[in-house]
Amino acid sequence: MSLTLHASETLLPAVQESIRRSAELLLDLQKQDGHWCALLTADTTLESDFILLRLWMHPPVNGVWNPPNPGQIQRAAERILSQQLPDGGFNIYANGPSEISASVKAYFALKLAGIAADGPQMTKLRECILSLGGIQAANSYTKVNLSLFDLYPREHTPSIPPEILLVPGKLLYQMSSWTRAIVVSLAIVHADDPKRPVPAGFDLKELFLEGRSAGFDSNDSWLSWRRTFVQSDKILKLWEKYGFARMRKVALRKCEHWMIERMRHAEGLGAIYPPMMYAIMALDVLGYPETSPIRMEAVRQFDNLMVDDGKTLFFQPCFSPIWDTAIGSYALTEAGYGDHPTLVKAADWILDREIRRPGDWSVKRPNVEPSGWAFEYRNDWYPDIDDTAMVMLALSKLKATKSSAHAATSKRALDWLFAMQSKDGGWAAFDVDNNWEILTHVPFADHNAMLDPTCADITGRTLEALGANGFDRNHPACKRAIDYLLREQLADGSWYGRWGVAYIYGTCFALRGLAAMKEDDHEPHIQRANEWLRSIQNPDGGWGESCASYDNDLYTPAESTPSQTAWALLGLMAGGDTYSSSVQHGIEYLLETQMADGWWDETLATGTGFPKVFYLNYHYYRLYFPLLALATFQRHQANGRP
């Protein structure tokens, strides 16, 4: 132990210097009003869908497509082409394999943008698509998008009926919040049965794999409920042709009201790219002219997601200011910068953005006083538990200008967190008890995010926030959450992470939540988790995990990243391991890979949107999580914790 302790102590000067550089960098990145907002990027499907939306908004005239701002379309195409893989396809995460839906969307967008179909890039892309099963293997939303232009048979795409809002029992609210916003807006579009024009001679016939049906696939997921929903889809298609027109009209009116209501007090519908795109289309088919204030605002909010400097163009899926500000300010307080004057501004900025109106969550919690925070600048319908918990962690360390407002806001938010606990003891992202597994078998559920179930990472963070605000394991809600985490631990000692990649993320925040509840780190479940983390450490001292973990349903190694190394270290230290060689090598990895300006380099996606479907690069994860890990290590050394 003395040798290990001595080795740890020799790291401290370098750790302190690393903390200083990264903390000063993070402070320099703070906005004038006190908040942080990092870039949030994803794959090329965003740029591909942008080109599709431009075709929708500005259809060809006499077969000739002449959209405004053609330079933007050209730059979007160049951005797509810059990400093409050697086999011709496109992936959905860095270092990942070609993925069929992303590749089909890219082909459509590039061909529409004027890239020659018989050129080498498109030829390789087409060959890749056919090798992956052709356009028929793409997911439902890709097919639906193409069917709007009669490029995929409408009869072989899933029905998305607006009558879903008329179903008794509030079926819509058994779907995840993001699915809700997509389904309602897309149902309006789908009900119009559009066959929007494309440029003369444009089609995608070359992407259809000969001999493969364009209909719903018969594979090993062809379960009884799946068969039932597919049969139901046939009935829905008959309804679309011969159904009661008056009921359809009532349903559409209700969808319109629902959608427009949720576009208020938000940066667009759901404040995320997919429903914002479909909302523009929905307003169009509903007859809102281009000069309508509602439609103009929908387009403006969507265009705000675009980053275009005249040379490079790409889209963000949304903005992340609350998340960035909460994590960044918390990391700085842990690093010893809690008295820095700009953190008062951060606290005030956060307090000003508490949501005080009921949202979709209140359907299941109608008598709960509104509180909480969203992910984005403005998204009042959808405060989320993860952001709220992270904010409560930050506010437990920050000092706002008005202490009374600080205290009152914290109390409301904590009460809201308690109210949002699900029956199983865990916490989900936006809703309670959003776990109707039956809905995962509907034909349009292959975006793999139909539900919003409880998860270990959010439950762990919520426990951590409750612990930081004076609650302990004797509180009934905390006890239930501890029991939930113990049930969710996997046999190898890890936890599944829903909102970060993947098992490293889940294990980190489960352990931190248990530590906040003073769980004895000698317990077997803690030791199993520690041993699992140590067992997957890379030879360079860091940790890394591929997004393929979600496809494989088990940890899949990848090259070390700063954020995942930080999560592993935070997990180990929460589990009582502060002096092992694994921890020291992990700290050394962070010290050795930090750049002179305080940054760490990270190109792999470590954030999760929809597992298996959509991943995220949070551009400050590589800064504030290493800072937090180093600060935590420094504190443990100062406290002399064995």
CA–CA gap between residue 492 and residue 481 (Å, rounded)? 21
Is residue 386 part of the annotated active site? The answer reads yes
CA–CA gap between residue 509 and residue 465 (Å, rounded)? 11
Helix H or strand E encompassing 313: strand 313-315
CA–CA gap between residue 319 and residue 217 (Å, rounded)? 36
Residue 250 φ/ψ region, left for φ over 0, alpha for ψ in the -120 to 50 degree band, beta for the rest: alpha
Within 203-292, residue ranges assigned H as helices are 224-242, 245-263, 273-285
Cβ(493)–Cβ(532) under 8 Å?
Answer: yes
Q: Which of 549, 562, 552, 543 has the alpha carbon at shortest distance from 603? A: 562
Other Cβ atoms within 10 Å of 557 Cβ, number: 14
CA–CA gap between residue 278 and residue 590 (Å, rounded)? 42
* Residue of 386, 387, 452, 457 marked active site: 386
The tokens for 578 are 């502060």
- Listed in sequence order, the residues at least 6 apart from 482 whose beta carbon sits closer than 8 Å to its beta carbon are 463, 473, 514, 517, 519
Q: Which residues of 184-221 are buried (b: 16+ CB within 10 A; e: fewer)?
A: bbbbbbbbeebebbbbeebebeebbbeeeebebeeeee
Within 29-69, residue ranges assigned H as helices are 45-57
Q: Which residues are catalytic?
A: 386
